[in-house]
Structure formats: structure tokens, C-alpha cells
Amino acid sequence: MRKEIEKNIKQYWKSLGPGLTTGAADDDPSGIATYSQTGAKYGFGFTWLALFTIPLMSVVQEMCARIGMVTGQGLAANIKKHYSKKVLYFCTALLLFANTFNIGADLGAMSQGTQLIFPHLNFALLVVLFAILSLVFQIFIPYKTYAKYLKYLTFVLLAYIFSALMVDMDWYEVLRHTFVPSMSFSKDSIILLSAILGTTISPYLFFWQTSQEVEEHILSGEVDELQKDENEINSDIKKMRIDVWSGMFFSNLVMFFIIIACASTLFKEGITNIGTAADAAKALEPFAGHFASLLFAIGIIGTGFLAIPVLAGANSYAVSECFNWKEGLYRKWNEAIAFYGVIVVAVGLGILLNFIGLDPIKALIYSAVLNGLVAPVILFLIVRLSSNEEIMGKFKSRPITKIVGWIAVSLMAIVGVATIISLWL
């Protein structure tokens, strides 16, 4: 019996890939700051979002994965093929702006998280060091090894679950707010809602998921066009669903534990404003202990290493597909100089953003808000592409999948408009 269980666990772990890493990358330092601020300011009030967004995230990422698996091309390439260049360039420009801003915010958060553990280290030096390490890993490590590295790096997110379990928790209140939604319509709560949705249903994940499905098949020795029969594609889609839903569930589970950890400590003690994600880790120490605070800080650093390559990679896939450049992390530097060049430029701009006087918490929160404003535009195209029988054939979205997809588009659009109005007033 024990051997059978171990065998099933090993098979399940082996089946996980792009969906898991995509879901884990969603909990980047920007997300951690957003969830921490949510718990600190509103207690358990927004806990229900961790449950509510699971099907929305999963269905959207499943659509992206299916587009990549069936067409053998990334998301930008499909937009280019079926829509005008104006639409393509508009979506790509939105993505580049949001992702580069997010990279800068994440580099800053990683550096501040490190200073929490090693206070005497220089902030500027840490920003540059983390940027260089991220580039070295992404550019010079073979993709097969790199994909495994990303997969195992997802374990760093367990730090947030462990740190929350060290806190004295009112589980009745936690469960009540998880299953009974509540929402205030103040300016701050609308902006935070937009940030939460933006950091969970993020544009960079759409492009990364689609392209990673293509890369996984190329890695397996299959041709770029992915010319497979119907049974093979059906089998691959079933495996992909397990991967994607597992990744999105894990992502939201971490979100849930970060919110309740900060709600049970910071909110309870009246600490409702957090300067940075690192400040959240430091503020936890008097109430949850040094080890919980340390785990929180380590999580910030680890998730940054997971998210920055995804953010920069999504930029590069999109731009490369726009201009028909050779692309793919499976290629060596000299085989795809332009592709890797975009990654270098994106990370370089992210470094510069840390030295123009941006407020750290505003950079993190507003990068999430920015994602929330960009997402509905790209989501609209994703739902249409995945539902188009001429493009997807028998693998087009089922009616229930389309419904959930349009709900996601509508929700993100409504919250985005409400956010713009809130910021304007």
C-alpha cells in the first residue's frame, strides 16, 4: 500500500510542469505585498477571493495552454495571425510596460527581503546582483535543467504556509470569511481588489503558459508544428489540466495563508499599513516568532527568482513573435540573440526603476493594479481564440469554459473601470 502511494505521488510530481511553475510565479513579491497589505488592512475580509479566483485562473490558463498545444505557437503569434498588427502591438506594449514595472518592483522587494536577514548589505548592490543571477540562470543554463530548477523552486512557497501555521489562528472566523464573501466599496478596497485580481490573473502568465507548452513539446523531441493525432492531443490536454489546476490551486493556497497570517497578527494588533513585503515579514516577528518572520523573508527572495524569469521571458516571447525572431529558452544564446536581448533589456530597465525614487509598497501594489488593467484586453482575445473552431478545431473551449472565461473578462473589466474612476476622483 505504501509503495503504491509513493508510486502515485512520483507519477503526479512527474506530470507537473508549466502549470505548476506558472501558478507559483503568480505569487511573486508583488503578490506577496498585495496579499500582506490585504490581510493587514482588512483582516479576513478578502479571504474569500483565494477560493473565488481558483476557477477563473485555472480556466484562463487552461485556455492559454490549449492554444499553445493545438497551434504549436505562442499567444502573440496567434494574435498576430488572427488579428491586425495594431491589436498585436497594443497588447505587446501593454504587456511590456506592466512586466518591466513588475520586474523592477520584484527586484527591490528581493533586496529588501535580503536586508531583513543581512541588514548591512547594500540595497543597490543586491538589486544588481539578483538581476545578474536571474539573467545567468535563464540564458546560460540548458532549458531542460532550468525547467527542473523552476519546478523545484516552487517549494519555497511552502514557507508562507509554515509561517501562517505558527500563528495563533481563529479558524472559525477564517472559514466563515472564506465561504461567505464580503466587500466594501471604498476607494482603497476597490484599488486593492484590482491589485489582487491583477496579481492572480496576470497577463504575463498568459504568454508564459502558452509558450511553455510549446517548449515542453519541443523539449520532448516533437516538431515545432506539434502535428499529432486527436487521441494524442486529448491525452496531452488531460495531463495539462491536472498540471494547470494543481498550479493554480497551489498559488491560491499560498495567497490564502499569507492573508490569514497577516490578518491574525498585523490587523489584530492595529498594524494596517505595510511599507514593503519585507516590512510585513519584520512585523510578523513579535507575534509569530523569529522563525516565521525569517520564512516569510526567504519566501520573498525565492519567489522573486521564480517570477522575474517568467516576467522577462513573457516579454521576450511576445516581442520575438511580433517580429518573427528565433525564440525559445531551449535555444542557445548565439541561436536567439534578439530573444535573449529582450530579456536582458527588460531586467536592465527593472534595475533602473529602483533608482528613480519609487515608493516600494506603491511600486508593488500598483504593478499589480497595472496588471489588473491590462488583463481584460488580452483576456478578451484569449477567450475568442480558444473558442474559435477554425483555429482550435475539436479542441475549442467547451460552453462552460467559455462562460467562465467571459465572466473573468467581465469581472476584470468592471474592476478595472472602477479602479480608474477611484483613482481619478
Q: Where are the domains of the chain?
A: 19-424
Specify the pLDDT at position 130: 94
Spatial neighbors of 114 by CB under 8 A, at least 6 apart, are 121, 126, 297, 301
> How confident is the model over 93-118, as a mean pLDDT?
85
C-alpha cell at 111: 533586496
Task: Kindly calculate the radius of gyration of the chain based on its CA atoms and give it in whole angstroms.
Answer: 20
| Of the candidates 69, 89, 83, 76, the residue with the CA atom closest to the CA atom of residue 313 | 76
Contact 184, 306 (CB under 8 A): no
Q: Any idea which residue has 503504491 for its cell?
A: 4
Q: What are phi and psi of 273, to 5 degrees?
A: -120, 125
What is the predicted pLDDT for the residue at 286?
Answer: 63
pLDDT(316) > 90 = yes
Average pLDDT over residues 95-123: 86
CA–CA separation, 187 and 411 (whole Å): 17
More confident residue, 58 or 117: 58
Residue range 71-94: average pLDDT? 87
> What is the dihedral sign for C-alpha 21, 22, 26, 29?
positive
3-state class (DSSP) for residue 324: coil
* Count of other CB atoms within 10 angstroms of residue 7: 10
Would you say residue 99 has pLDDT above 80?
A: yes
Among residues of the chain, what percentage have pLDDT more than 70?
A: 88
Confidence of residue 71 (pLDDT cuts 50, 70, 90): confident
User: In this predicted model, which residue has the larger pLDDT, 134 or 150?
Assistant: 134
The total of other beta-carbon atoms located within 10 Å of residue 384's CB is: 18
Q: Can you give the pLDDT at residue 346? A: 93
pLDDT for the residue 224:
44
Between CA 400 and CA 200 the distance in angstroms is: 21
CB 24 within 8 A of CB 250: yes
Percentage of the chain surpassing pLDDT 90? 21
Residue given cell 530597465 in the structure block: 349
pLDDT at 423: 66
Phi, psi of 229, deg, nearest 5: -80, 170
- Residue with the bigger pLDDT between 374 and 21: it is 21
Nearest to 63 by CA among 374, 373, 385: 385
Which pLDDT does position 402 carry in this prediction?
Answer: 92
Distance CA 143, CA 236 (A): 21
Model pLDDT, residue 292: 67
pLDDT tens digit sequence for 378-425: 889 999 999 988 888 888 889 999 999 999 989 888 887 777 777 666
Between these two residues, 342 and 331, which has the higher pLDDT value?
342
CATH architecture of 19-424: Up-down Bundle (1.20)
263-310 tens-digit pLDDT: 888 887 777 777 665 666 666 666 556 666 677 778 888 888 888 988
- pLDDT for 415 equals 80
Task: List, for residues 146-186, the tens digit of each pLDDT value.
Answer: 777 888 888 888 888 887 887 788 899 999 999 988 877 77
Q: Which three cell numbers stand for residue 72?
A: 504549436
Which three cell numbers, joined as nine digits, stand for 416?
478595472
Give how far Cα 150 sits from Cα of 21, 330, 348, 412, Å: 6, 14, 21, 29
Average pLDDT over residues 23-31: 81
Average pLDDT over residues 45-57: 91
Amino acid (1-letter code) at residue 289: G
Alpha-carbon gap, residue 374 to 371, rounded angstroms: 5
pLDDT digits (tens, 9 = 90+) for 52-69: 999 999 999 999 999 988
Q: What is the mean pLDDT of residues 28-44?
A: 84
pTM: 0.87
**374 or 19, which is more confident?**
19
Average pLDDT, the chain: 83
Would you say 288 and 163 are in contact if contact means Cβ atoms under 8 Å apart?
yes
Is the Cα torsion angle 37, 43, 45, 49 positive or negative in sign? positive
Query: What pLDDT, on the 0 to 100 scale, is given for residue 361?
Result: 57
What's the pLDDT tens digit per position in 345-371? 999 999 998 888 766 556 656 666 666
| pLDDT range class, residue 223, cuts 50, 70, 90 | very low
Closest of 229, 162, 197, 168 to residue 38, by C-alpha: 197
